Structure formats: C-alpha cells, structure tokens
Amino acid sequence: MARLVHASDRALLVVFDDEITVAAGNDVRVLYEWLLHDPPDAIVDLHPAYATLLIRYDPLRCDPDALTREIDRRVGSLSGRPLHEGRVFEIPVRYGGSHGPDLAEVARATGLREDEVIAAHAGRVYDVRFVGFSPGFPYLAGLPERLHTPRREAPRPHVPAGSVAIAGAQAGIYPVRSPGGWNVIGRTDFILFDSARGNPATLAPGDRVRFLVAGSRS
C-alpha cells in the first residue's frame, strides 16, 4: 500500500515500497508521467527514484491539503492508467583492463570468471528508473543477483566519463568525469549528457538499456 509523507512544508513523498521492486518502479513511472503531463497547479518539480516519487510544490500557489488529496486520488487510480514503453538504447561497452579496472575484483567477489561477469552484465535489459547524482547519470534496475557487490571501500576521486559500473543491486554509467565509489567494469563512448542540446540528458525514466560487448581486457 502506497503512503504519502510530508517531507517538508513544500514537498510530498509518495512511497510505494521500502524495497526495489518491479511493481514499485512501474507505479513510480505511471504517477511521474501523469503528473508530468497533467500537473496540478503549484507543482514545481518531480524527483522519481526506485520506489518513491518526491513532489515539490509552491505552498503559496495552492491549498496543500487539497493537493495532498489530489495526489492521493491519483495514487489510488494508477491501475487504470497505461504504462508507456520507453525507448531502447543499445550501448557498446569495452570491458576490463584499463576500461574496467574493477572487473577482476567483481569476479573474485562473486566467484565468477571475468568472462562470466561480462556475459551476465551484458545479458540483461535494464530499466532506467531515474536520473541523478550527476547530470545524465542513469540508475538502472535489472542487475542479475549474482553480480550484486558492495561499493568500493575507498571511492575514486576521478572516474572517467563513460565508465560503466555496478554497486549493490544497481547498475549505472558515469556521464561525466566525477568522483565515484561504484565498481567500474567497463567503459563506453555513448554520450549520456550534452549541455548544448535542448534536452541534455540522453536517457530518461522508462527507457531501457542493453549493453553490447565491444571488447574486453584491453
């Protein structure tokens, strides 16, 4: 059962689950798209995550109680709304070696060979649940359970742009050079963020990603 939490005097948090589940992710997407394309007055911004949606609003432009009732009404009506299929992106990845310095450690931690880690990572279609942390960074659901590994004990101060990484049950891609503590297993030349474009982030919630093996251990 979803619940609404007053996160502040100008924000509502809709919690669909306390775990990362497919059902919760779908509900987040449906509500996010509904509010994005048909927003009640006073909504300022929407922040989807794996199982929650943060709704920021201007309390001077609405009755907060009325807005809460409207959001609650929509949450209760999600089952009657369609889940639109997102775009599918195929992203080539060079695995291991200088491109994926943590591939060997992930193999040791999971008890798999490096080629098995690569096959498992590239053998799934991932859902973009939300974009954040850095401009254009996609949080991807769908990582095989046998690849679930903890974050690095010591984060790197600089992770190259295009680094393909995993941490816990998550997968992601660093769009720009930044600090990071995820396990880097490969790299891609795929452009995830371009500030010169009207919509600078390439991926959006609801899109799907398939990784293609472009090379390894180079």
CATH topology of domain 88-216: Cyclophilin (2.40.100)
The model carries a pTM of: 0.85
What one-character-per-residue DSSP string does the chain give? --EEEEEETTEEEEE--SS--HHHHHHHHHHHHHHHHSPPTTEEEEEE-SSEEEEEE-TTSS-HHHHHHHHHHHHHTGGGS------EEEEEEEESTTT-TTHHHHHHHHT--HHHHHHHHHTSEEEEEEE-SSTTPEEEE---GGG-BPPPSS-EEEE-TTEEEEEBTEEEE-SSSEEE-SEEEEE-----B-TTSSS-BS--TT-EEEEEEEEE--
CB 77 within 8 A of CB 2: no
Amino acid at 85: E
Residues in the chain: 218
Integer distance in angstroms from the first to the last C-alpha of the chain?
A: 49
Q: Give the C-alpha separation, 74 to 81, whole Å.
A: 10
Q: Give the C-alpha separation, 132 to 45, whole Å.
A: 14
Question: In which residue are the tokens 């080539």 written?
Answer: 92
> What is the pLDDT tens value at each position of the chain, 218 positions in all?
899 999 999 999 999 999 888 899 999 999 999 999 999 989 999 999 999 999 999 999 999 999 999 999 999 999 888 888 889 999 999 999 999 999 999 999 999 999 999 999 999 999 999 998 888 999 999 999 999 999 999 999 999 999 999 999 999 999 999 999 999 999 999 999 998 888 899 999 889 999 999 965 55
* Predicted pLDDT at 216: 58
Q: Give the C-alpha separation, 113 to 106, whole Å.
A: 9
Question: In which residue are the tokens 């009640």 written?
Answer: 40
* Predicted pLDDT at 7: 93
Model confidence over 38-95: pLDDT tens digits? 999 899 999 999 999 999 999 999 999 999 999 999 999 998 888 888 899 999 999 9
CATH topology of domain 3-80: Gyrase A; domain 2 (3.30.1360)
Question: In which residue are the tokens 């004990």 written?
Answer: 153
* Predicted pLDDT at 103: 97
- Sorted by where each begins, the domain ranges of the chain are 3-80, 88-216
